[in-house]
Structure 1
């Protein structure tokens, strides 16, 4: 059990087969307020403490954006889940999910382009640019923002996959 900020984080190591020892899940409640992004970034840093710097930076930025969107557009509770799996030698796959209590606006098919001088509205554009895959599902009873990051031998330094 890990205590992160005001949230409660639980780290669960995989059990069972050979690959299960290389899987970890961290789940934490996020505060419903301006601190949601900060607590989410701290939780990702714990979950990915030994990951390469570029993966950690991307994961922290994405998580911050998803937590901010959940607070700004959703209702409590806010929950962060970070699934980490080592694939083959040196390959790492991370799935980040932020859920909230729902909203009344439908999910966009693709992130809307923000106004050039707008101070906000770039969160999903950033997620789309950094993640290998992502989705957003909204509803009155819950919203789920999810993304996957992969790093290792199949990820080139210039960002192509």
Structure 2
């Protein structure tokens, strides 16, 4: 959802979450252009405000890669959805989805291996390395890239965060 008055991403309660405790969904349109990744990173920072730095860094990098792929390989519109849910025992689950208007290339069954000297082509390899789960579904009517990150609070031996 986009707050059209400010042109900034807006957060809304997640649909389908039964207990309502700590669940937030952010949905925003991304510009169809080179700024897609930058806007996506900023939106993730808003959605994950207060999250651990490691989770935020991984989510921003993954989102940047998915938005870049959507712009480079897809058609408008580009849409980002970030679902944030607090889990039991203090863990946080984040699902990131980027959709676009489709492409003509078939869906890869796994992350492609880029040429060693290539300047691009590592996006899905990065997603695969950082995400706990991910999928990519491509088609002429739409493409959906999705991933899940789950992180828990790490306690030190004295029981503090």
TM-score range, shorter chain: 0.7 to 0.9
SS class of match (1:93)? strand
Local SS of the residue matching 1:75:
coil
- 1:89 matched to 2:107? The reply is no
Superimposed CA distance per residue, residues 102-155 of structure 1 (whole angstroms, 9 cap, x where no aligned partner): 00101101011100010000000000000000000000000000000000059x
DSSP-derived class of the 1:79 partner: strand
**If the length of structure 2 is used for normalisation, what is the TM-score?**
0.88
**Structure 1 unaligned spans of 5+:** 155-161
Alignment of 1:1-161 (within 5 A): 8-14=8-14, 19-152=19-152
Aligned to 2:19, the other structure's residue is in SS state helix
8 Å contact kept, 2:14–2:83: no
Q: Secondary structure at the match of 2:119?
A: coil
| Mapped contact 2:17–2:23 kept (Cα < 8 A) | no
What is the aligned partner in structure 1 of residue 158 from structure 2?
Answer: none
Separation (CA, whole Å) in 2 of partners of 1:41 and 1:125: 18
**CA offset at residue 10 of structure 1?**
2.9
How much does 1:14 deviate? Answer: 4.1
Classify 1:16/1:110 alpha carbon distance in 2 versus 1 (closer, same or farther; 3 Å): closer
Q: CA separation in 1, counterparts of 2:43 and 2:123?
A: 19
- Give the RMSD, CA atoms, in angstroms: 2.2
| CA apart distance, 1:43 | 0.1
Q: 1:61 to 1:7 in 2, by over 3 A?
A: farther
Offset of residue 90 of structure 1: 1.4
8 Å Cα contact 2:97/2:144 also seen in 1: yes
Count of aligned residue pairs for this structure pair:
153
